[in-house]
Structure 1
Amino acid sequence: MAATSATTFSIGSNTSASIKVGLLSQSKASCVKFTSKNYPRSFSALKATNSVSCESESSFLSSESCAALKHSYITKARKHNLRSYGYVQPQASYKVAILGAAGGIGQPLALLIKMSPLVSELNLYDIANVKGVAADLSHCNTPSKVSEFTGTSELADSLKGVNVVVIPAGVPRKPGMTRDDLFNINANIVKTLVEAVADNCPDAFIHIISNPVNSTVPIAAEVLKQKGVYDPKKLFGVTTLDVVRANTFVAQMKNLKLIDVDVPVVGGHAGITILPLLTKTKPSVTFTDEEVQELTVRIQNAGTEVVEAKAGAGSATLSMAYAAARFVESSLRALDGDSDVYECCYVQSDLNDLPFFASRVKLGKNGVEALISSDLQGLTEYEQKALEALKPELKASIEKGLSFLQKQPVSA
């Protein structure tokens, strides 16, 4: 192989001689994941020889991760028939708004999105305490300009010209709070924010994180319908965390390289509505019945695992921020023209008799291009029974969201 200069992958200065990336790794040892399915096109830094090397003194990439990085990077480069370029600086050209940016999910999510070279402007909105978050983030030497917006009087301005809206706003369940209490608070928050989105950036991709996602996404859809701007291809419930957890737990159990593991997760985003299709795991792996049961239950209850570990001091904020950032990056790549972007998410669906359903989808410039129905074919008896068992609960959650709006009319 011809000699080539070292290429470093971590977020750094715009003026650096190399493009540096540090987002969206699924490997415990690496801060970057480049595979044929999750490859940030805009992160390209290709020498004339079409070869890649990693600095030996770099402390954040293991030799194993570096080798995997080289292989997948070169494979993707060849697949897209990239010509020989020098170091190509990414073109930051997309505007992202985070509604609820001062919260436990919002802050780390804002940091991760700030690291994306595809983002030119990052608008941070919250009802309080967002000014300091924005000032802090604005010191990071990455391309995007950070702006802060505080209170309902500035909500509209935070959404002008935005391409992707991410909504982590809401409250976590606290001791003594019923699920109905949580639902009523977060449902009203999502309703208000989506009304503003409909009025100010109706063509944007909308990413709903606020729980309960099984109900808040139908609420958002109904708000957009009543506003006359509903595009089902552009409304997403972010269920990426279920995939991230499934990938992690399977890799740990089967001693696999995490960077290679991909487990589709379908259904919804709470309890038994979360259904990991373990028999569809890539690379192909065999599970005993006991392992399937153990993994399925753990993935479904992983949020409780975090709450208990934090001893009442919080919920899954960091892993949720990571998963949401991965989904945002996938959306930005799709908007930027990448034709090879697939993610699991909760969307309007016709894969079964439920109006909303989480499944793997193909993303494109206009949002959802295709629902991947093949994942639901050839299920095991266990998976088929679990699928049938989740449907009544998911249906009830959807209907609960829709009935909420009958009591809370949409603002004109």
Structure 2
Amino acid sequence: MLRFSRSFSKSAINNYKVTVLGAGGGIGQPLSLLLKLNHKVTDLALYDLRGAPGVGADVSHVPTNSTVKGYEPENLPEALKGSDVVVIPAGVPRKPGMTRDDLFNTNASIVRDLAKACAENCPDAAICVISNPVNSTVPIVAEVFKSKGVYNPKKLFGVTTLDVLRASRFVSEIANTNPVNEKITVVGGHSGITIVPLLSQSKHKDLDTETRDALIHRIQFGGDEVVQAKNGAGSATLSMAQAGARFAGSVLDGLSGETDVIEPSFVDSPLFKDEGIDFFSSKVTLGVEGVKTVHPLGQLSEHEEELVRLAKETLIKNIQKGVEFVKQNP
């Protein structure tokens, strides 16, 4: 969707390198295709433990103005050098009965090692973390960057955009509207009850209690629908790829100097630091330095106040889990 209010004076002359870490996976492949279609991406680097050169060759045939190359493990530094944006979907998918937290032990090590490579080869890049559990993997990246002395809180993002997309879609099904026109802010984190859609700030603040509660639950646990429907063959990949491409595109819009680029994201946030919560998802204005402004939550209903309170209780534990992992497994 075009946003005519922005200034496009800088974007036409900027070229950007974007690296996808985990490009051969269920999210990585469609994500790589969607990024190839973004006109701001002029150098697309695709990395994975296996299969990335093939994905790179395939995607490279799409006739847009960017070069594409796939990289294998020994060439990870080359894939990262000069990157403006790094998107990390690497990791194992959920299976039926698993929560995002169940993925922690495997994905934590993967994200830690990739974060080390980013800190060493592209410390100034905007890092967009998709790998679950995001509530814990984003703090892992932060701790790794801190240990290398290159942490920039304005350049680290947990991608929560899928929650926003689901909220728009699910609301539209109830209201019989076009989901493109549904703007639902989702705050908190990116798992279960930490996902808090602010319906009171939308056009649907007057839903009856039963409908509202069912809708919120579906937004919070919508990923389970996909996991169950795929019957052990994976989790949300195509919708997550769209969410990742949209968020990475917004980051690029901000870096290029466009104005009024606003997306919810799980970032190093001042909102609840006095409560010991260093990361929180809320609307963020994106700019040339990454995070330009972290927006307050605004007016909440009593029910939403309670949902945020519950989300914060879980987030403290999730964040600490990531921090402790790096301490114990540097």
Q: Identify whether the pair has TM-score above 0.5, normalized to the shorter chain.
A: yes
Matches within 5 A, 1:76-95: 76=4, 79=5, 91=13, 93-95=15-17
Partner of 2:46: 124
Instruction: For structure 1, list consecutive stretches of 5 or more residues without a partner in the other structure.
Output: 1-32, 40-75, 84-88
Among candidates 298, 301, 307, match of residue 386 of structure 1: 307
Matches within 5 A, 1:276-315: 276-281=197-202, 283=203, 286-315=206-235
Instruction: Report the identity percentage.
Output: 52
CA displacement 1:318-369 (0-9 Å, x = unmatched): 0000000000110111111101100000001111221110101100000111
**Distance (whole Å) between structure 2 residues aligned to residue 260 and residue 207 of structure 1:** 26
Instruction: Evaluate the alpha carbon distance shift between residue 324 and residue 177 of structure 1 in structure 2; reply closer, same or farther with a 3 A threshold.
Output: closer
1:366 paired to 2:286? no
**Distance (whole Å) between structure 2 residues aligned to residue 300 and residue 216 of structure 1:** 19
Q: CA deviation at 1:201?
A: 0.7
Partner of 1:189: 110
Matches within 5 A, 1:1-80: 33-34=1-2, 39=3, 76=4, 79=5
Instruction: Evaluate the alpha carbon distance shift between residue 145 and residue 234 of structure 1 in structure 2; reply closer, same or farther with a 3 A threshold.
Output: same
**Distance (whole Å) between structure 2 residues aligned to residue 189 and residue 177 of structure 1:** 18
Equivalent pair of 2:262/2:285 in contact (CA under 8 Å): yes
Partner of 1:347: 267
1:164 paired to 2:77? no
Deviates most, 344-353 or 234-243: 344-353
Partner of 2:156: 235
Question: In structure 1, what residue type is equivalent to 2:92?
Answer: V
Q: CA deviation at 1:90?
A: 5.2
Instruction: Indicate the SS of the match to 1:95.
Output: strand
Among candidates 116, 138, 146, match of residue 68 of structure 2: 146
Instruction: Indicate the SS of the match to 1:147.
Output: strand
Instruction: Evaluate the alpha carbon distance shift between residue 110 and residue 333 of structure 1 in structure 2; reply closer, same or farther with a 3 A threshold.
Output: same
Question: In structure 2, what residue type is equivalent to 1:317?
Answer: T
**Distance (whole Å) between structure 2 residues aligned to residue 244 and residue 180 of structure 1:** 22
Question: In structure 2, what residue type is equivalent to 1:362?
Answer: T
CA displacement 1:62-114 (0-9 Å, x = unmatched): xxxxxxxxxxxxxx2xx45899xxxxx95561100000000000000000000
CA displacement 1:358-400 (0-9 Å, x = unmatched): 1011000001111111xx2321111111111111111101111
Question: In structure 1, what residue type is equivalent to 2:248?
Answer: V
The higher-RCO structure (CA 8 Å, 6+ apart) is 2
Partner of 2:255: 335
Equivalent pair of 1:92/1:120 in contact (CA under 8 Å): no
Instruction: Indicate the SS of the match to 1:362.
Output: strand
1:357 paired to 2:280? yes
**Distance (whole Å) between structure 1 residues aligned to residue 182 and residue 96 of structure 2:** 36
Instruction: Indicate the SS of the match to 1:266.
Output: strand
Aligned CA RMSD, in angstroms, stands at 1.9
Instruction: Indicate the SS of the match to 2:284.
Output: strand
Instruction: Evaluate the alpha carbon distance shift between residue 314 and residue 384 of structure 1 in structure 2; reply closer, same or farther with a 3 A threshold.
Output: same
Instruction: Indicate the SS of the match to 1:162.
Output: coil
Equivalent pair of 1:97/1:123 in contact (CA under 8 Å): yes
- Higher normalized helix content (fraction of residues): 2
**Distance (whole Å) between structure 1 residues aligned to residue 91 and residue 320 of structure 2:** 20
**Distance (whole Å) between structure 2 residues aligned to residue 306 and residue 284 of structure 1:** 25
**Distance (whole Å) between structure 2 residues aligned to residue 248 and residue 403 of structure 1:** 36
Q: CA deviation at 1:186?
A: 0.5
**Distance (whole Å) between structure 2 residues aligned to residue 80 and residue 242 of structure 1:** 25
Instruction: Indicate the SS of the match to 2:193.
Output: helix
CA displacement 1:194-247 (0-9 Å, x = unmatched): 111111111100000000000000010000001000000100000000000001
Partner of 1:24: none
Instruction: For structure 2, list consecutive stretches of 5 or more residues without a partner in the other structure.
Output: none
CA displacement 1:248-301 (0-9 Å, x = unmatched): 1112211222222111101100000000001112x4653222222011000011
Question: In structure 1, what residue type is equivalent to 2:278?
Answer: P
**Distance (whole Å) between structure 2 residues aligned to residue 207 and residue 104 of structure 1:** 17
Deviates most, 173-182 or 106-115: 173-182
**Distance (whole Å) between structure 1 residues aligned to residue 262 and residue 235 of structure 2:** 27
1:113 paired to 2:35? yes
Equivalent pair of 2:7/2:258 in contact (CA under 8 Å): no
**Distance (whole Å) between structure 1 residues aligned to residue 269 and residue 50 of structure 2:** 36
Q: CA deviation at 1:173?
A: 2.7
Among candidates 7, 15, 20, match of residue 98 of structure 1: 20
**Distance (whole Å) between structure 1 residues aligned to residue 235 and residue 249 of structure 2:** 23
Partner of 1:205: 126
Q: Which has the larger radius of gyration?
A: 1
Partner of 1:223: 144
Instruction: Indicate the SS of the match to 2:18.
Output: strand
Question: In structure 2, what residue type is equivalent to 1:124?
Answer: L
Partner of 1:246: 167
Question: In structure 2, what residue type is equivalent to 1:100?
Answer: G
Equivalent pair of 2:101/2:133 in contact (CA under 8 Å): no
Q: CA deviation at 1:175?
A: 6.0
